[in-house]
Structure 1
Amino acid sequence: MTEWPVPEMVPTNGVTLGVYRMGPEPAESGKPAVFFLHGFPEIAYSWRAQMTAFAEAGHSVFTPDQRGYGVSDAPEGVQQFTMQKLTDDLRGLLDHYGIEKAVFVGHDWGAIILWQLPFYMPERVLGCAGLNVPLLPHYPMDPVAMFRARFGEDMYIVRFQEEGACEPILERDLMQTFKFFLRKPNKGKVQKSDVPFEEKSLDLLGLLEKGEDAWGGERLLSDRETAVYAKAYKKNGFTGPIHWYRNFTANWQDQKRFLEGGRLPHVNLPCLMITADLDRACPPVIADAMAGMCTPYERIDLKGCGHWSQQERADDVNTAIMDWMQRHFA
């Protein structure tokens, strides 16, 4: 694999983001530029296999440590992490690199941002490929209230709403935290304890505190790779990343300005959804509504795969996205 690059520190939208680049200059490529958007609790490094493959295929590729993560700035205040701020960061990166439109690929929270780009900055998007988290219809009620009603007070997103309450738990031992998060199903089969939360309550933090014997599954990354994550989170900690969750309600309210007849407008851009059948946090069934929300739309279901798809099944993910891009952007 190509050596992981040194980040370029790029000013955008009032912050400076660390952006990792591979491949030719955008103007020299002749192929669409591709931006990879990481999720929680990850960093740009999670896309290392995709960056290498797409750069070798002749694409100009970019992945930022997004606002609050890794080497990038983590401004103070929950209001600094709204969907408007996060999408404006990407608009600024496109402007900085002189790119009119790009293909965006997102995983987990990166996919949540990805699926909002056709509404927040449609003029800058060629196509969207999402992993594990789909484009969802507008929630019928405040999502945090909905999560609380469905899963209770211990559900991790509900617990995240109290600023300062969860950060010490996650920051106590960063290597241990990432050994907990970055796991895969043991032998490709989900058993009762093979997921990083309890199924009924999604008490992710409670399970972390129980210790490794209770976690189930098996580690996805080596000690060396896990240490990359731990080192990255020493700079900013977890407050900025968790602030993304603390904007669920504000983002839901802001999304209402895009609604047409109470629904999100149809997305008329090439869209690819990649699900993983052993991802209990985001099971494939939650993507079923997308077929009626996007055109042209394609879906691929990875069998025997957990939540961290682009690392667990890098070759399959790379092939799926490249095949999709060749058909729509060649």
Structure 2
Amino acid sequence: MKFPEPRYIDTNGIKMAVYEDGPKDGVPVLLSHGWPELAYSWRHQIPALAKAGFRVIAPDQRGYGNTGGPKGEENVPLYDIEHLTGDLTGLLDALEIDKAVYCGHDWGGMVVWQSALMHPDRVAGVIGVNTPFLPRSPVDPIMAMRMMFGEDMYIVYFQKFGVAEQKVGADTKRTLNFLYRRSGITMQEWEKLPSSDKNLAFIKALDTPESEWRGKPLLNEEELAYYTAAFEKSGWEGGINWYRNFTRNWERSAGLVQKVTAPALMISAADDVVLSPAMTEGMEQYVPDLEKHIIADCGHWTQAEKPEELNRLMIDWLKRRFG
């Protein structure tokens, strides 16, 4: 499948690569990717949403792909949640769009939920794919993750500037082939594992032989080549910097009211061991207008693992709420 070429839009101090489809007078749907993803991660959703009559806007976000971003340890704060949400509002400004439905997966899910808190006048609705709304932690989240999972947990490991990007960038194609795999384990099987096997030490597991990797590869050669070229172009630093702002984001969000007033759709994947469906329990307290679904037999990469089912749920909700 040939993915379209981007156009470049100035927003919030960066030149953002944006991929668009659908009628210009359709309800705008803004797609926010996670790590290590790209606008290309929505390749199965973009044409389906456009065909359903929606105006689809999918950027390579700050630090990624054809957008890229500032480098150097001194620029880590330029990847905080204020910049990430500001990039999207600036994109809407440039496109002369008042409001859009924000849809996000993985880290992109955190960006769209926080956008609903920080820029509620720009968010017509929210679709969380795998990523639930997570209310502000009572303690520094990195400290909590370090205590719970240890130093090898991937988010904790990412905190040391320059270390993780060197590790994953040593062989970008191998890293992507390792990460982009079907789950290979059900949630029931995961829950039965000893806690020592559930420390989410994904990057450390890169050192294991490919024959020991869990799950089947998710990408075909063309898809793997697209991702590899994109991450070799941008490097890994920018995307990992998103993780290095967990503490900063937590500190700066003190006092932010934890209530999403926009209508919301939450789509979980039954076998995503990082963002489990159980994490959506109690979301209604913070997101009163909420509809929830779980896609069976699906791991973390929902857009590619179960594209037809994801598209159906998204389009059905969008037409009911915004048609």
**Please, what TM-score do these two structures have when normalized by structure 1?**
0.92
Q: Is the contact between residue 24 and residue 58 of structure 1 (CA under 8 Å) also seen in structure 2?
A: yes
- 2:57 — aligned with what? 62
**Partner Cα separation in structure 2 for residue 169 and residue 124 of structure 1:** 38
**Partner Cα separation in structure 2 for residue 203 and residue 4 of structure 1:** 33
Q: Is the contact between residue 182 and residue 216 of structure 2 (CA under 8 Å) also seen in structure 1?
A: yes
**Partner Cα separation in structure 1 for residue 287 and residue 200 of structure 2:** 30
- 2:87 — aligned with what? 89
Q: CA deviation at 1:249?
A: 0.3
**Partner Cα separation in structure 1 for residue 306 and residue 20 of structure 2:** 22
Q: CA deviation at 1:296?
A: 1.3
- 1:268 — aligned with what? 261
**Partner Cα separation in structure 1 for residue 157 and residue 9 of structure 2:** 33
Letter in 2 for 1:37: S
**Partner Cα separation in structure 1 for residue 187 and residue 138 of structure 2:** 34
1:243 aligns with 2:241: yes
In structure 1, list runs of 5 or more residues that go unmatched.
Answer: none
1:34 aligns with 2:33: no
Q: CA deviation at 1:188?
A: 7.2
- 2:124 — aligned with what? 126
**Partner Cα separation in structure 1 for residue 79 and residue 142 of structure 2:** 16
1:156 aligns with 2:151: no
* Shift in alpha-carbon separation, 1:13–1:34, aligned structure 2, 3 A: same
- 1:19 — aligned with what? 18
1:78 aligns with 2:68: no
**Please, what TM-score do these two structures have when normalized by structure 2?**
0.94
**Partner Cα separation in structure 2 for residue 167 and residue 187 of structure 1:** 27
Q: CA deviation at 1:214?
A: 2.1
Letter in 1 for 2:198: K
3-state SS in 1 of match to 2:198: coil
**Partner Cα separation in structure 2 for residue 16 and residue 329 of structure 1:** 30
Q: Is the contact between residue 207 and residue 214 of structure 1 (CA under 8 Å) also seen in structure 2?
A: no
Q: Is the contact between residue 185 and residue 271 of structure 2 (CA under 8 Å) also seen in structure 1?
A: no
Q: CA deviation at 1:73?
A: 2.9
Q: CA deviation at 1:24?
A: 1.9
**Partner Cα separation in structure 1 for residue 96 and residue 141 of structure 2:** 36
Percent identity, please. 41
* Shift in alpha-carbon separation, 1:288–1:189, aligned structure 2, 3 A: closer
Alignment of 1:134-173 (within 5 A): 134-173=132-171
Q: Is the contact between residue 120 and residue 261 of structure 2 (CA under 8 Å) also seen in structure 1?
A: no
Q: CA deviation at 1:189?
A: 8.1
* Shift in alpha-carbon separation, 1:239–1:214, aligned structure 2, 3 A: same
- 2:101 — aligned with what? 103
**Partner Cα separation in structure 1 for residue 152 and residue 184 of structure 2:** 26
**Partner Cα separation in structure 2 for residue 189 and residue 268 of structure 1:** 31
**Partner Cα separation in structure 2 for residue 188 and residue 146 of structure 1:** 26
3-state SS in 2 of match to 1:304: coil
1:327 aligns with 2:288: no
One of 178, 181, 197 as aligned partner of 2:179 = 181
3-state SS in 1 of match to 2:255: helix
3-state SS in 1 of match to 2:253: helix
In structure 2, list runs of 5 or more residues that go unmatched.
Answer: none
Q: CA deviation at 1:74?
A: 1.2
3-state SS in 2 of match to 1:52: helix
Q: CA deviation at 1:257?
A: 3.0
* Shift in alpha-carbon separation, 1:187–1:169, aligned structure 2, 3 A: closer
One of 211, 214, 219 as aligned partner of 1:213 = 211
**Partner Cα separation in structure 1 for residue 282 and residue 93 of structure 2:** 33
Letter in 2 for 1:299: K
One of 220, 223, 231 as aligned partner of 2:221 = 223
Q: Is the contact between residue 273 and residue 299 of structure 1 (CA under 8 Å) also seen in structure 2?
A: yes
Aligned length: 317
Letter in 2 for 1:58: G
Letter in 2 for 1:166: A
Cα RMSD of the aligned pairs, angstroms, is: 1.8
**Partner Cα separation in structure 1 for residue 187 and residue 216 of structure 2:** 11
* Shift in alpha-carbon separation, 1:199–1:20, aligned structure 2, 3 A: farther
